Structure 1
Amino acid sequence: MDLEHARQVAAQAAEAAGRLLREGGRGGTPGARPKGENGDVVTDLDVASEKLLLERILTAFPDHSVIAEESGLVGAAGGEWTWLIDPLDGTNNVAIGLPAYVVGLALCHHGRPVLGVVHEPVPAHTWSAVLGRGAHGPSGVRLAPPYRPWRHGPVVAWTQGHGVSRAAAHPLKMRLDLGARRVLQLWAPLLSWVMLARGDIDGFVGYCAEAVDLPAGALLAHEAGIEIRALDGGPFLWGVDGPPEDRSFVAGHPEAIPALLELVGSA
């Protein structure tokens, strides 16, 4: 498997989807409607972006399986190579006119991510990573965020899975609100991973995160030098097929991890 070729295909597909989203979102959000019973929404843009991405990926890799946000599994389950596609991460933002959204793709080999691409349509910036080869941003710049000690608590991002009730996440989220300088809840987890990989924020905490949008962002941050741990400080399990609890994490610069774990450990 030529992962560099796969990265190029994924980046070009994500950028094409980004252009579609950017043009289609002008003048309002077409066809926004409820999705499920937890307040989430889906739009015609989600569907159109996913259609484009599926066509690009399956044309280039017809033997691969795909798990897409709206379509679910396309192809056989449990294959050697599986793509995860989030055609519009941040739909709720788009629905209220907030230009904070991205397109994300990940390629997994036997369930472990080996390639991640995240594209932000508004500035037309693309970030990508291949396992063991580093993470790169626009113009091929390699991502390597420095450690910056904080004086008044860290700035951290927060995400929780769609199926998590506010009550279930309440103790952990409250502890972050009390101990962090600022807690960002962007409604676009992949954008939070990009901010962490760039060094814009100090940490990222997730509780039962969604499987489709986790691998691309986590791999990007990991390849930029970010450390990712389970909430109890143990190893982070990279597979996407396990229970939602396995997708709970604390992420930050290696020198910041002890303080971040101490912050969430009290919850």
Structure 2
Amino acid sequence: MSPNPLPADPSAASPAGFVSECRTAVAAAEAAGALLRSRFPDGFAARPKGGRGDVVTDLDLLAERLIVDRIRADFPHDRILAEETGDAAAGDGGARTWLVDPLDGSNNVVIGLPVYVVGIALCVDAVPVVGVVHEPVTGRTWSARRGAGTHGPAGLLAPGPRPSSPSGPLLAWTQGHAVRRDDPAARALRHTLELRSRRLLQLWAPLAAWAMLARGDIDGFVGYRAEAIDLPAGALLAREAGVALRHLDGSEFTAAFTGPDTNRTFVAGRPEILPTLLNLTSTSAPPLLNTTP
């Protein structure tokens, strides 16, 4: 039996669980961050990745190898699913899977924009139980364990409600790599959010946006067919900091990394603003946006 099994009822998860796993993830993310910081902004090579304008750098690969080796050393029987190499280590860990995004924001790094983070999650039965996001530029780290809250450099995060603005909420947006630029649902949803929000941030680094949401720096985060590899870590940070996550029809969003990307369209925000965010997304066309996949 795998250690620290996830209870059938996620709300019953013990805050005492997954301490060693979180410690490993924090140490690995910070070591990778030191590597990235030492080579930014011009100590690396980059090449195209896929056919939709994405890139990969040698920093992605070096940081990924460092993280995977650290996790494998401490938890040799767990499965590891990494952004660049895929199943880097598939052991007999059963339902336990580590997700590694060694450099979230590669496109930013390539153009010298210092908006990039390292993300690591541990999922049990596809549900996140540990999430870590490290920001190499500032050296700050945020971590969460299911049922134990989200911690940052100053301790437990407990952000209060943000003041409302007559010009609308401050939001972030992400969409998956497979989404075409002319995707009608994405265009309609994004257009509505841009019209009715104070600002819609598109950071090219979803984990950075999740950390901002967990800290209370922004009001909400909307994702359309989000990438699987970075979703669980960020979503757990936000949820443990008091953020509510929903599908566009208002049903609970679990942030599982399995299944089709159509299952990974979400609205996230603090409970007091969530009805406003759901109302914004429900006014988007076409109607397919209003049903849970």
**CA offset at residue 76 of structure 1?**
5.0
Q: Does 1:261 align with 2:275?
A: no
Q: CA deviation at 1:146?
A: 1.3
Per-residue deviation at 1:7?
0.6
Unaligned runs of 5+ in 1: none
2:131 to 111, 116, 119: 116
Say yes or no: does 1:105 pair with 2:120: yes
Contact 2:231 2:255 (8 Å CA) reproduced: no
Q: Paired residue for 2:195?
A: 178
TM-score (structure 1 length as normaliser): 0.97
Q: Which amino acid aligns with 1:72?
A: G
Q: How does 1:88-167 map to 2 (within 5 A)?
A: 88-139=103-154, 141-148=155-162, 149-167=164-182
1:166 alignment partner, SS class:
coil
Q: Which deviations, in whole Å up to 9, do the C-alpha atoms of 1:146-180 show, x marking residues without a partner?
A: 11223210010000000001221100010111111
Alignment of 1:32-71 (within 5 A): 32-71=46-85
Match of 2:219 among 187, 202, 210: 202
| C-alpha distance in structure 2 between counterparts of 1:172 and 1:166, whole Å | 13
Bigger Cα displacement from structure 2, 163-172 vs 119-128? 163-172
- Report which stretch shifted further, 78-87 or 219-228: 78-87
Report what 1:31 is aligned to. Answer: 45
Kept after mapping to 2: 8 A contact 1:29/1:95: no
- What is the distance in 1 between the residues matched to 2:225 and 2:141? 26
The 2-side partners of 1:202 and 1:239 are apart by 23
Q: Following TM superposition, by how much is the alpha carbon of 1:78 offset from its aligned partner in structure 2, in angstroms?
A: 8.6
Structure 2-normalised TM-score?
A: 0.88
**CA displacement, residues 108-164 of structure 1 (integer Å, 9 cap, x when unaligned):** 01111000000000100000000000000014x111221122321001000000000
Preserved CA contact (<8 Å) 1:29 1:94: no
- The percent identity for this pair of structures is 56
Distance 1:64 1:8 in 2: 16
Query: How much does 1:29 deviate?
Result: 4.8
- Give unmatched runs, 5+ long, in structure 2: 5-16, 285-293
Instruction: Please point out which of 239, 245, 260 is paired with 2:262.
Output: 245
Q: Deviations over 1:56-81 (max 9, x none)?
A: 00010000001100010131599311
Q: How many residues align?
A: 265
Runs of 4 or more, structure 1, over 3 Å off, are none
Contact 2:77–2:91 (Cα < 8 Å) also in 1: no
Equivalent-residue separation in structure 1 for 2:92 and 2:98 (angstroms): 11
